Homo-oligomer: A and B are copies of this chain.
């Protein structure tokens, strides 16, 4: 853990290094991924079967290519009631938040008599990547699948690796609840390629979302433009801005809830009180010792954790804007005042009773958020990622007479005479 104070002589440079550190693997998988995608494009299901045998150790033609809807339904029914109700509460709240996000169509005629508008429509088909093993979270299934269904996507396809043939029952249960239409037992870059290009068995989709390892992320990046993708995701992070009125172990728990995700995760505390900073640091150690995820959380906190002591919270917004963190928790007397000054953040958690973890599961807003300073220019996942807008224009002769001549002048100036001509022939010129 790195301890800084804004009054330190070398603070600016030390903080600049924190901001610049992407914590991303330097492994270059671009060539491997390009080869895999080319193989899937060329050989389709044959390539999928080969890669699955190699990476996941099972034969799709034996173990089955798909998990059927009935299996997903049974997984849901088999959940303990407490867990089923928790998933249902989460789904209901996520659905409500995303339904209110649906954009409105426009259709109006302006003073020049020109009818203008825009129509939003869902994409025909979307693919969700769901990682296997430790990172297979039912909450991620809900956060990706529900916005797609709310947007109106008719065909929602999940691909997920099942190493040695094993499937994750919780994820299947969430797929059932979210209304997923197809679940394919393939993962890795080859599964992403199958979604984009289509194979004999798997029809292509228009948009691919969902988290994955470096190969999956690179496959999405390479296929950007062939299909729509949600975003380039990196290691996640939390920034907690907290005053000394907080209970240290609560803030410690918040920091660790990020740290336990992955060794590359980052937890940062900004406080205006040195003694409180000490108390939180001590509480982190106490909490860590009791945590089943201690090893991951300790590595993350040790390698990437930061505590910054500021002279006053007036200094916090500039620091927060430079970090542009995925999650920003504001546990102060007047969180609203600080939020107004924070321009770059994926999601903000206001007040002392809003631990970030409620946003991961049940609050309603999406937990798929921009990481690695990308909140400067990108947003969390929403229904808009599964929709597209078509603009439309309609003129009658009077409207064309009103605005057409200006278009002719501009077309002439740009050296595009056929553009001008298409208007002139209608104006009898």
Q: Give the B-binding residues of A (Cβ under 8 A).
A: 82-83, 85-87, 89-90, 93, 96-97, 100-101, 103, 106, 110, 112, 114-116, 118, 121, 123-124, 134, 137-139, 170, 206-207, 221, 224-225, 227-228, 231-232, 247, 249-250, 253-254, 256-257, 259-261, 287, 291-293, 297, 335, 339, 342-366, 369-370, 374-380, 382, 384, 388-397, 399-400, 403-407, 409-411, 413-423, 425-426
Given contacts A82-B409, A86-B410, A357-B407, contact A259 B380 (CB under 8 A): no
B403 touches A362 (CB 8 A): yes
| Cα separation A220 to B26 with both chains bound (whole Å) | 21
A-B contact pairs, 23 of them (CB 8 A): A89-B406, A90-B406, A93-B110, A93-B112, A123-B376, A124-B343, A221-B225, A253-B418, A256-B418, A261-B416, A291-B417, A293-B415, A293-B416, A342-B390, A344-B388, A350-B393, A350-B394, A353-B396, A357-B420, A359-B393, A360-B411, A379-B388, A380-B391
Q: How far is the CB of A83 from chain B (nearest CB, A)?
A: 6
Q: Which residues of B contact A116 (CB under 8 A)?
A: 97, 363-365
A391 touches B417 (CB 8 A): no
Q: Which residue of the partner chain B has the closest CB to A399?
A: B353
B365 touches A393 (CB 8 A): yes
Q: How far is the CB of A388 from chain B (nearest CB, A)?
A: 5
Q: How far is the CB of A46 from chain B (nearest CB, A)?
A: 21
B358 touches A170 (CB 8 A): no
A257 touches B421 (CB 8 A): yes
A86 touches B375 (CB 8 A): no
Classify the secondary structure of A's interface with B: mixed
Q: How far is the CB of A82 from chain B (nearest CB, A)?
A: 5
Q: How far is the CB of A348 from chain B (nearest CB, A)?
A: 4
B124 touches A376 (CB 8 A): yes
Q: Which residues of B contact A349 (CB under 8 A)?
A: 392-394
Q: Which residues of B contact A259 (CB under 8 A)?
A: 418
Given contacts A343-B124, A350-B394, A358-B403, contact A138 B389 (CB under 8 A): no
A389 touches B400 (CB 8 A): no
A83 touches B256 (CB 8 A): no
Q: How many copies does the complex hold?
A: 2
Q: Which residues of B contact A378 (CB under 8 A)?
A: 228, 388
Q: Which residues of B contact A426 (CB under 8 A)?
A: 250, 352-353, 355
Q: Which residue of the partner chain B has the closest CB to A372?
A: B225
Q: How far is the CB of A189 from chain B (nearest CB, A)?
A: 17
User: Pick the contact of A422 from B100, B253, B422, B423 — CB < 8 Å?
Assistant: B253
Q: Which residues of B contact A416 (CB under 8 A)?
A: 257, 260-261, 293, 357
Instruction: Knowing that A86-B405, A291-B421 touch, tell me 16 more A-B residue pairs with CB under 8 angstroms.
Output: A83-B409, A86-B406, A93-B110, A100-B106, A224-B224, A228-B377, A254-B422, A256-B422, A335-B394, A347-B392, A350-B394, A354-B393, A358-B393, A361-B410, A361-B411, A361-B419
Given contacts A358-B403, A390-B375, contact A417 B83 (CB under 8 A): no
B354 touches A395 (CB 8 A): yes
Q: Which residues of B contact A358 (CB under 8 A)?
A: 393, 395, 400, 403-404, 407, 423
User: Pick the contact of A139 from B377, B394, B414 — CB < 8 Å?
Assistant: B414
B422 touches A355 (CB 8 A): yes
Q: How far is the CB of A180 from chain B (nearest CB, A)?
A: 18
Q: Which residues of B contact A249 (CB under 8 A)?
A: 425
B343 touches A403 (CB 8 A): no
Given contacts A206-B377, A228-B377, contact A360 B419 (CB under 8 A): yes
B419 touches A123 (CB 8 A): no
Q: Which residue of the partner chain B has the closest CB to A120?
A: B379
Q: How far is the CB of A257 from chain B (nearest CB, A)?
A: 4
Q: Which residues of B contact A86 (CB under 8 A)?
A: 405-407, 409-410, 413
